[in-house]
A and B are shown apart, each in its own frame.
Chain A
Amino acid sequence: MKQENIRNFCIIAHIDHGKSTLADRILEQTGAIEKRELKSQMLDSMDIERERGITIKLNAVQLTYQYQREEYYFHLIDTPGHVDFSYEVSRSLAACEGALLVVDATQGVEAQTLANLYLALDNNLTVVPVVNKIDLPSADLPKVEEELENIGFSRDEIIFTSAKTGEGVSSLLRAIIERIPSPKGNLSAPLQALIFDSLFDAYRGVIISIRVMNGEVRVGDVIRMMETGATYEVVGLSINTPKEKSISILKAGEVGYLYASIKSIQDVLVGDTITLDMNPASYPLPGYKPMKPMVYCGFYPIDANKFEDLREALEKLKLNDASLVFEPETSKALGFGFRCGFLGLLHMEIIEERIEREFGIDLIATSPSVVYEVILTDGSKIMVDSPVKMPKRELVSKTLEPYVKTSIFSPSDYIGSIMELCQDKRGTFINMEYLDQKRVMIHYELPLSEIVYDFFDKLKSYTKGYASFDYEVIGYRESNLVKMDILLNGEVVDALSVIVHKDFAYNRGKVVVEKLKEIIPRQMFEVPIQAAIGTHVIARTDIKALRKNVLAKCYGGDVTRKKKLLEKQKEGKKRMKKIGSVEVPQEAFLSILATKE
């Protein structure tokens, strides 16, 4: 395979703009698959991916295409479509020379369209703008053309397609060949191969997706991971066409899979460089960053007996997902569970759903928390990923929290509401760009914890669903953070503790306290519900003591009926969870934990 005849590219788009359907159509038109074999969205292999319309794990496929009597090899690299996985996206992009930027003809340019475009430009990719779904009656081509012009494309660059009908796909394939440059690796240099994805296979161990930048790798070579230093002997090389095909060598410019009996996914870091142990490259490829979980929460099995099953499920998921971290955690209110770390909220939701669906374990997830940096009075620094781990106030000299830069893309009608929301969320305004007269991109710096809390839901409701948004983490900043506890009858309910900005503690506390009051029935005694920072109570309400629960009248004829009534009450009691001395309806309590408020 000549490097000149190779095209490595990916498809990038805002969520739901038709990326996977377009990929399917490309597969079909290059003859890689017959139409009848084509399950909708061939590249997404997991059920959840197909249902949610998003791509979780990467996939690379080799396609062959005849053009002007030459045979071309396309390597289509699929990328995750969500901000949580932006690092993985950037590594996939680094494996390519070009990108197809897909824009929905009915929706136009959106936040992730831009975020992805910038990522592609950062990686020096040649970008081909594609307007998709042109078959839809609501398609507004002039508008989308104008928007693309506004972000730097010329009108004649744009390719119009309908992935549904296949219209325009052949001109797209020609554009891929004509516009996207071929790889220009040095075949004789020491091996440098970029890891852009990995997958655990029960029989072969970790399977690594690589793009060879320079040099070559063969079956039998001893390879070395430049970041971790781990060495392995290559057992096999292959490429999907999309059926798997074994090969014996991967050369500069090519994309494929490598496996080497690797048992631990910890040795395989996305973004790391593979070289040869005998003849190593002198430096790794640029761009590696360790992936750090940004959002943490507790997972508890609703059925306490399923704790070990949950551990097993997490371990299995971790085989495929190096970014998932977890450790056992105990809660007085919830029993035994795990503190888990995720790249972001979507990542968390996906893992939660997979545990419930694939492993059949009903879970309760505590409210998500970000990782705080706490400088103690003795000058030492600790990272706090759970309110339980927050040191006592008198030991803390300062607290820092992660901030993100958000790009909010919205019709200009909602500028006011968006700015109000961002201000409410402790945001700092950076700037605002008009893409055209009606569409605007607003940049704010916001604490990540606010995003994790309810920012996204609020943004959607403030803008009637018109705004889209994206964010990137920009570092830690000092912030006046406190741990707020919720006390039920004087006892802290650990599962409800949160770390919150001091100015917001009162409102947050009030909401939780009121909600608890709604769900907890009267008890034998008066139950105070308090929100407190340390010993300082900031919100309080009381559940009045139960005054009457009696069968006033009980004579001969009533006896059986009254016993049944008491049995009913007994059944009701079984659905109660005891938190300290207070009985709380299990389901309602879980619903409080489950909501982000």
Chain B
Amino acid sequence: MNIRSCYIHIPFCKRICSYCDFCKLFYDTGYVSFYLEALKSEIEQYYHGEELDTLYIGGGTPSSLSISELEKMFSILSVLKKSSSCEFTIEVNFDSITEEKIDLFKKSGVNRISFGLETTHPWILEKMGRTLDLDYVRHIISYCKSVGITNINVDLMYAFPDETLQEVEEDIRFILSLDVCHVSTYSLILEEHTKLYLTGVKSIPEELDAKMYELICSMLSDFCHYEISNFARDDSFSKHNLCYWQNKEYYGFGLGASGYIGNVRYSNTRSITHYLQKNYRYEEEKLSSCDKMEYEVILNLRTKWGISKTKFYQIYGKRLLDVYDYSELVTLGYLRECDDFIFIPNKFWYLSNEIIVRLLEVCSYE
């Protein structure tokens, strides 16, 4: 096993956003300490001492924890060995972040912060169930930079019901003014079981959605558009997320977390009661070679590099072309072949499901 990445889930939030279907809980001091204890045991039980190249604390809202809770969390995570160039990311919300917490992050080895901004428009924030002070955003980001955390991501959500192209443009302009090196943008997905879905709102027309995407891409043209929804300046790609898209193994610890180890993709329980009773694993998917190859294709094709034919052969002992006959898709222009790589051209990224499905369809394995 060669596990080089680890995800830690902190499920607590001070408020619940209307669109969120992640595993989350209302912040509660009592629960947090029990939770961190259970997390500690889970790591002790499953971690085998590998040196990590990426460590990612996500949520929920990790920044919603108090200073002392965060200190406890970092001390638990200190058993994880980090390589010298380890990317250590924590997710942060503006309504719970303070200079003091940033100092603690810095002290604890965090070298990348991912901020959930989502929108700058008050009416959308209200519908999302969020709050935001734009001046504070500017202040916190420059504070991060001042303490030396310059690897910063900002998340943006678009295609909110009734949102206009103009509003998306204003959001992007604001993000550009922050001068950060990484931007993630997501078209809103109305997930079942979310507050937003239950109020019966409708998705915006797909034409407008696609136009918003095009606008974002063109406004972020100075960035490297390296994954469907991700943009990076220079080479500041998210190493942790690339681990997912390159179909590499990773640990996932915490409530509702997922991991990929050996031939198994697993998910942890989303029940806090079970988790505190140390019943961590909820389901496991044992992967056949065919499954692995499918994941390889589905994930690799999200990035601008696509699938490496050499790497594919090295891992699976088969030529990519022999398993997935991509020649017709190349002829049609939906896939491009360039030296060792097969990838989806930028202009078809927003239709990537169609292309991936067609490629999976022509699988001749077994």
Q: Which residues of A does B touch, CB under 8 Å?
A: 524, 544, 546-557, 559-560, 562-563, 566-567, 569-570, 573-574
Q: A552-B187, A553-B186, A557-B252 are in contact. Are A573 and B358 (CB under 8 A)?
A: yes
**Contact at A546–B351, with CB atoms within 8 Å?**
yes
Alpha-carbon distance between A549 and B186 when the two chains are bound, in angstroms: 13
Alpha-carbon distance between A548 and B205 when the two chains are bound, in angstroms: 10
The stretch among B44-52, B73-81, B116-124, B294-302 that forms the contact with chain A is B294-302
Alpha-carbon distance between A590 and B294 when the two chains are bound, in angstroms: 33
Q: B294: which of A524, A549, A555, A563 is its contact (CB, 8 Å)? A: A563
Q: A552-B189, A552-B229, A573-B361 are in contact. Are A557 and B207 (CB under 8 A)?
A: no
Q: A552-B189, A566-B360 are in contact. Are A557 and B267 (CB under 8 A)?
A: yes
Alpha-carbon distance between A556 and B228 when the two chains are bound, in angstroms: 15
**Contact at A547–B206, with CB atoms within 8 Å?**
yes
> Shortest Cβ distance from B347 into chain A, in angstroms?
11
**Contact at B210–A563, with CB atoms within 8 Å?**
no
Q: A554-B302, A570-B357, A570-B360 are in contact. Are A560 and B267 (CB under 8 A)?
A: yes
**Contact at A550–B258, with CB atoms within 8 Å?**
no
* Residues from chain B with Cβ under 8 Å of A524 in the complex: 334, 348, 351, 354
> Shortest Cβ distance from A232 into chain B, in angstroms?
59
22 CB < 8 A contacts A-B? A547-B210, A548-B187, A548-B210, A549-B353, A551-B228, A551-B352, A552-B189, A552-B229, A554-B244, A555-B241, A557-B252, A559-B258, A559-B260, A559-B265, A559-B295, A559-B299, A560-B285, A563-B294, A566-B353, A566-B360, A570-B357, A570-B361
**Contact at B357–A569, with CB atoms within 8 Å?**
yes
* Residues from chain B with Cβ under 8 Å of A549 in the complex: 350-354
**Contact at A557–B258, with CB atoms within 8 Å?**
yes
* Residues from chain B with Cβ under 8 Å of A555 in the complex: 241, 244
Question: Closest A-chain residue to B185, C-beta based?
Answer: A552
Alpha-carbon distance between A569 and B298 when the two chains are bound, in angstroms: 13
Q: A547-B210, A550-B351 are in contact. Are A556 and B229 (CB under 8 A)?
A: no
* Residues from chain A with Cβ under 8 Å of B256 in the complex: 557
Q: A560-B285, A563-B298 are in contact. Are A548 and B267 (CB under 8 A)?
A: no
**Contact at A547–B352, with CB atoms within 8 Å?**
no
Question: Closest B-chain residue to A555, C-beta based?
Answer: B244
Residues of B261-275 at the interface with A, using a CB-CB cut-off of 8 Å, are 265, 267
Residues of B126-162 at the interface with A, using a CB-CB cut-off of 8 Å, are none
Alpha-carbon distance between A57 and B62 when the two chains are bound, in angstroms: 82
The 8 A-B residue pairs whose C-beta atoms are closest, nearest first, are A547-B210, A549-B353, A548-B206, A557-B258, A547-B206, A552-B187, A569-B357, A552-B186
* Residues from chain A with Cβ under 8 Å of B294 in the complex: 563
**Contact at B244–A556, with CB atoms within 8 Å?**
yes
Total A-B pairs in contact (CB under 8 Å)? 96
**17 further contact pairs, Cβ within 8 A, besides A524-B354, A547-B351:** A544-B207, A547-B209, A547-B350, A548-B209, A548-B350, A550-B187, A550-B350, A551-B352, A554-B244, A556-B244, A556-B258, A557-B252, A557-B257, A557-B267, A562-B298, A570-B360, A570-B361
> Shortest Cβ distance from B315 into chain A, in angstroms?
17
Q: B299: which of A544, A554, A569, A574 is its contact (CB, 8 Å)? A: A554
* Residues from chain B with Cβ under 8 Å of A548 in the complex: 187, 206, 209-210, 213, 350-351
Alpha-carbon distance between A557 and B250 when the two chains are bound, in angstroms: 11
> Shortest Cβ distance from A550 into chain B, in angstroms?
5
* Residues from chain A with Cβ under 8 Å of B357 in the complex: 566, 569-570, 573
Alpha-carbon distance between A318 and B101 when the two chains are bound, in angstroms: 88
**CB of B7 within 8 Å of the partner chain:** yes
* Residues from chain A with Cβ under 8 Å of B186 in the complex: 552-553
* Residues from chain B with Cβ under 8 Å of A566 in the complex: 298, 353, 356-357, 360
* Residues from chain B with Cβ under 8 Å of A544 in the complex: 207
Question: Closest B-chain residue to A571, C-beta based?
Answer: B357
Alpha-carbon distance between A544 and B229 when the two chains are bound, in angstroms: 24
> Shortest Cβ distance from B344 into chain A, in angstroms?
10
**Contact at A560–B265, with CB atoms within 8 Å?**
yes
Alpha-carbon distance between A570 and B358 when the two chains are bound, in angstroms: 8
**CB of B35 within 8 Å of the partner chain:** no
Alpha-carbon distance between A567 and B297 when the two chains are bound, in angstroms: 13
Alpha-carbon distance between A551 and B260 when the two chains are bound, in angstroms: 20
Q: A550: which of B22, B241, B353, B358 is its contact (CB, 8 Å)? A: B353
**CB of B237 within 8 Å of the partner chain:** no
**Contact at A550–B257, with CB atoms within 8 Å?**
no
**CB of B231 within 8 Å of the partner chain:** no
* Residues from chain B with Cβ under 8 Å of A553 in the complex: 186, 189, 229
> Shortest Cβ distance from B4 into chain A, in angstroms?
14
**CB of B349 within 8 Å of the partner chain:** yes
> Shortest Cβ distance from A576 into chain B, in angstroms?
10
